[in-house]
C-alpha cells in the first residue's frame, strides 16, 4: 500500500491476489479515491510507462495546513486534491510504481538528472550507493569495497555521459539516517561539498 499523512495514511493498495504479479507496485487507488499522473505543466498523463507527479483525490484528503488559529477558519483549501511530490508511472493495468521524488533532480551541464533513478540503476548493477548532488555536481556515496569505488569512478561519467569533473564518487562507512531510517542526502552532500 501507499499513503501520506495528508490523506489519512492510505491512498492505494495491491489486492492480495495480485501481490506476486505486482511486486514493487503501490497498487491501485483505494475505494472512493483517485490517482492521476500529471506532467510539469499539470497536464494529465494517460500513457502507460510515462512518469509524472502522482496526484491523489478523495474524501480522505486533509483540508489544508494550519499555522495559526486564524488558518482554521479558511475551510477546505485542498478541495480534496493532494499533490504528493512523488514521481510514479502506471502500467497497462492501472497499477502504479513509485519512481522517485519530484525535488530529487539536478541539472548538470543542462542535462536533467533524476537522483532516485540513478540510485536505483546503480543498485540494480549491484552497488551499495546513495546518490545526491547539486546543479553542477552528481555525488555517489558508496559503502562498497575499493574495487567498486574505482569502477563507479570510471563508470558513472561514462554511463550518464557526464564530464568527470561533474561527478564525485566517495567511500563512506555508513549512510547517515533519520530516526525513521531514511537516508539523509543533505548530510552526505554537506560532508562531500563543504
State whether CATH 3.30.420.40 applies to domain 5-101.
no
Outline which parts of the chain fall under CATH 2.30.38.10: 5-101
- Residue whose C-alpha is closest to residue 183's, from 107, 100, 125, 96: 100
Backbone dihedral angles phi then psi of residue 116, each to the nearest 5 degrees? -65, -40
Location of each CATH 3.30.300.30 domain in the chain: 105-192
What pLDDT digit, counting tens, does each position of 66-94 carry?
888 888 888 898 999 999 988 889 999 99
In words, the CATH class of domain 105-192 is alpha beta
Model confidence over 103-158: pLDDT tens digits? Answer: 788 888 877 788 988 999 999 999 999 999 887 899 999 998 888 999 999 999 99
Q: What is the pTM of this model?
A: 0.62
Taking the C-alpha atoms of residue 14 and residue 23, their distance in angstroms, rounded to an integer, is 9
Amino acid at each position: 500500500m501507499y499513503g501520506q499523512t495528508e490523506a489519512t495514511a492510505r491512498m492505494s493498495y495491491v489486492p492480495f491476489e495480485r501481490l506476486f504479479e505486482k511486486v514493487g507496485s503501490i497498487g491501485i487507488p483505494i475505494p472512493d479515491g483517485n490517482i492521476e499522473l500529471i506532467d510539469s505543466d499539470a497536464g494529465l498523463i494517460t500513457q502507460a510507462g510515462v512518469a509524472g507527479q502522482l496526484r491523489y483525490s478523495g474524501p480522505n484528503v486533509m483540508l489544508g495546513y494550519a499555522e495559526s488559529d486564524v488558518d482554521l477558519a479558511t475551510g477546505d483549501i485542498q478541495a480534496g486534491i493532494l499533490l504528493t511530490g512523488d514521481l510514479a508511472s502506471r502500467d497497462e493495468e492501472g497499477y502504479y510504481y513509485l519512481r522517485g521524488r519530484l525535488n530529487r533532480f539536478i541539472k548538470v551541464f543542462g542535462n536533467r538528472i533524476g537522483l532516485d533513478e540513478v540510485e536505483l540503476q546503480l543498485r540494480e548493477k549491484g552497488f551499495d550507493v546513495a546518490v545526491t548532488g547539486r546543479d553542477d555536481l552528481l555525488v555517489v556515496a558508496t559503502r562498497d569495497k575499493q574495487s567498486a569505488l574505482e569502477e563507479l569512478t570510471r563508470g558513472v561519467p561514462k554511463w550518464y555521459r557526464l564530464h568527470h569533473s561533474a561527478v564525485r564518487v566517495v567511500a563512506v562507512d555508513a549512510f547517515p539516517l533519520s530516526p525513521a531510517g531514511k537516508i539523509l542526502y543533505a548530510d552526505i552532500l554537506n560532508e562531500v561539498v563543504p
